[in-house]
């Protein structure tokens, strides 16, 4: 079964750092793009960026460039989303997704989501 | 960024009804429009890709249509498990953008 399994919920304070993960299985992880999508409480979906684990080619939405870092370790089939200094406005559910191509293709597999709560 | 607008934002329907949701892009996206279903507390699930192609495993009562700027998602004979929020997404240009969602509720 093709699946993406994300790390568990996090509760952090403003200013703290965080790295969440997304592990792929059931397919050739290096050969598919992994994207990240944010869903703030009660709101819609926002695309943050995408990485190709095969060569770590990474692209960011202008809205998230400089705010987060996307990385991947193809040896353990895992992609990451990290923050160096969290803000309360980073409180959201974060989903990882799979795509065959970074453009044109739909997000055909989704992780279960990681809830990040940032509060003092 | 391409802006996606869905209508209505919510609707009430009964089991067995036919439901149509509309998604409009503010510029042509040819056929690069995808539809997702999201249930409370769950991740979105791909239903339709490239405007009208049914994702594997999705019931045939779901269908999509349109091209250019105007698209539709139709659910024929609504089932109890179809009550959810539906969202469109364009994959024509980067960044991909989503519509605001349509919540389908039980009448």
A95/B43 touch (CB, cutoff 8 Å), yes or no: yes
Q: Which of residues 40-79 of A touch B (CB under 8 A)?
A: 44-47, 59, 61-63
Mean pLDDT of B32-57: 98
CB of A95 less than 8 A from some CB of B: yes
| C-alpha span between A2 and A29 (Å, rounded) | 10
What was the pLDDT predicted at A49?
98
On whether the CB atoms of residues B92 and B32 are closer than 8 A, the answer is yes
User: Average pLDDT, whole number, for chain B?
Assistant: 97
State the pLDDT at residue A102. 87
What pLDDT tens digit does each residue of chain A (120 aa) get? 999 999 999 999 999 999 999 999 999 999 999 999 999 999 999 999 999 999 999 999 999 999 999 999 999 999 999 999 999 999 999 999 999 998 889 999 999 999 999 999
pLDDT at position B107 is 87
> What's residue B55's pLDDT?
98
Does position B34 have pLDDT exceeding 90, yes or no?
yes
Q: Write down the residue that tokens 């999705």 correspond to.
A: B58
Contact A45 B89 (CB under 8 A): yes
Q: How far apart are CA A17 and CA A94, in angstroms?
A: 15
């Amino acid at each position: 079964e093709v699946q993406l399994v994300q790390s568990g919920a996090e509760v952090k304070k403003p200013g703290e750092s965080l790295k969440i993960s997304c592990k792929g299985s059931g397919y050739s992880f290096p050969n598919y793009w992994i994207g990240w999508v944010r869903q703030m409480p009660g709101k819609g979906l926002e695309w943050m960026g995408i990485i190709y684990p095969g060569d770590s080619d990474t692209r960011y939405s202008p809205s998230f460039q400089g705010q987060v870092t996307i990385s991947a370790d193809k040896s353990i089939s895992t992609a990451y989303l990290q923050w160096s200094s969290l803000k309360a406005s980073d409180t959201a559910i974060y989903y990882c997704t799979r795509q065959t191509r970074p453009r044109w293709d739909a997000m055909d597999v989704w992780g279960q989501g990681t809830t990040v709560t940032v509060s003092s | 960024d391409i802006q996606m607008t869905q209508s209505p934002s919510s609707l009430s329907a009964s089991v067995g009804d036919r439901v149509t949701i509309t998604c409009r892009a503010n510029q042509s996206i040819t056929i690069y429009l995808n539809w997702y279903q999201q249930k409370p507390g769950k991740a979105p699930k791909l239903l339709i890709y490239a405007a009208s192609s049914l994702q594997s495993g999705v019931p045939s009562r779901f269908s999509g249509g349109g091209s250019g700027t105007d698209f539709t998602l139709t659910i024929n004979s609504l089932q109890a498990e179809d009550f959810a929020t539906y969202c469109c997404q364009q994959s024509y240009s980067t960044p991909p953008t989503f519509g605001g969602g349509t919540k389908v509720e039980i009448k």
